[in-house]
Amino acid sequence: MAQIPEFGLGTFRLEGEQAEQSVRMGLELGYRHIDTAQIYGNEADVGRAIAGSGIPRAEIFLTTKVWLENLGEDRFLDSVRESLQKLHTDYVDLLLIHWPAGEQGPPMADYLKRLADTKTSGLARAIGVSNFTTTQVEEAVAVLGEGAIATNQVEIHPYFQNRRVVECCRQRGIAVTGYMPLAYGKVLNDETLGQIAGSHRVGIAEVVLAWSLARGIVTIPSSTNRTHLASNLAAQSLQLTPAELRQIDALERGERLVNPGFAPAWDD
């Protein structure tokens, strides 16, 4: 099973020079886990930042994701090779299915086997899924076998903690990667989080990220601001008390923020 660095840099909604600068600054500050996706439209920008960083490829953990339109046999492997070309690399450390295909898409068993082929052929060092429900996680394990799926990347923040999926993955030995940890910035005005941040003399973002890490979630915030990138990285050393962790747990309110029309039938 791949060891995914517990903290990384997300690039969702970043494109062009903004994406390249974010990744370049992140690498300069010490980030070594970079997360992108075909649909983000920034793989080439991420690739340029990595190639120009001077950091050996082996020291960087790089993730990308196969988009829905590329899950079919006619596009899957070609799309992965295109991603690698854009990223200036021969392999990714982790390749994910970005979203499960709906009823009109190819069967899960088919595209998961194609995903497994990328690992066998060396295009990906590890494979996983994203936005899979508990039922879909179980189906994926049935197709690929125990230990094959490195992670399920799902929405997780204090207002939506996705506990059923987290528990399902843990029972199956699958790491959980949490995207959108700051809930599009909504958590930054939370009174409870503000009080906890004040007691530690840090920002609310650091508190939220430290909570996510303390809960065993691989955490991938994004930022285009060097100061924020640095403070986010510092969250790894922030120790919250058990009482503070429980306070943040209690903020759960089922506020899912990512729910496109092609999303699966969620567990919640």
Query: How far is CA 20 from each of CA 67, 85, 179, 233, rounded to the nearest angstrom?
Result: 21, 16, 20, 18
Please give the Cα distance from 49 to 87 (Å, whole number).
Answer: 9
Q: How far, in Å, CA of 23 to CA of 31, rounded? A: 9
Q: Is 58 exposed, middle or buried (0-12, 13-18, 19+ CB in 10 A)?
A: exposed
Among the listed residues 40, 91, 111, 159, the single catalytic one is: 40
- Phi first, then psi: give them for residue 127, nearest 5 degrees: -130, 160
Where do runs of H (alpha helix) occur along the chain?
A: 16-29, 43-51, 76-86, 108-120, 134-144, 163-171, 191-200, 204-214, 226-234, 242-249
Surface-to-core class of residue 18, CB atoms within 10 Å of its CB (0-12 exposed, 13-18 middle, 19+ buried): middle
Would residue 40 show up in a list of annotated catalytic residues for this protein? yes
Which amino acids are annotated catalytic? Answer: 40
